[in-house]
Amino acid sequence: MKAQAWSTDFVVSAVIFVLIFALVLFTWNQTLYQTQQKITLSKMQTLVSEISDSLIRTPGFPENWNQTNVESLGFAEEENVLNATKIGVFLSMDNDTIKSVLGIENYDFFFEIVYPNGSVGEINGTPVIKGNQPVNAAVLVPVERYVMFENTPAKMRFILWY
């Protein structure tokens, strides 16, 4: 009889131990996942801020860059005044090349210039839209900057996502 009681006590305590251990593991995994998500989001926010600053505040490097020699993208004639020719070259570039130059190979992006009335900017009839629309994005970090494009106030929108 004592052996049976001991066996029942052991089984109950083992089940309780396993349940508590499983709960601790689950909580630990959730905490690690949430921490990783926060780190990723923070990194993406920093990247999108740096990218948008570079695009609207610098002419890029070299200053008269093209598809084959670009080292740093920038559209600025002067701060917040965008050069349509450079944006035209940007629009003709391959998305993978753009991602490589911007240092965002592990992410996707969407870029557009929109006027206050909601219409998309155009260069020679081509809409100023580049990249992929964020569909079913797990994490999405948008930034909007007010700019002058073709002598008209506009918003440059850049979205980093995966």
Sign of the torsion angle spanned by Cα atoms 93, 118, 54, 61: positive
pLDDT score of 7 = 83
Q: What is the pLDDT of residues 88-110, one digit of tens each?
A: 999 999 999 999 999 999 999 99
Residue 73 CB coordination number (10 Å): 20
Distance CA 54, CA 10 (A): 65
pLDDT band for position 157 (cuts 50, 70, 90):
very high
Please tell me the distance from the alpha carbon of residue 111 to that of residue 149, in angstroms, as a whole number. 14
Q: Hey, where are the domains in the chain?
A: 2-161
Residue written as token pair 């980093």:
160
Decide: 69 and 60 in contact? Cβ < 8 Å: no
Sign of the Cα torsion 44, 45, 46, 52 reads: positive
Calculate mean pLDDT across residues 7-30.
Answer: 93
pLDDT in tens, 74-93: 999 999 999 999 999 999 99
Q: What confidence tens digit (pLDDT) does each residue in 32-89 have? A: 999 999 999 999 999 999 999 999 999 999 999 999 999 999 999 999 999 999 999 9
Cβ pair 143, 52 in contact under 8 A: yes
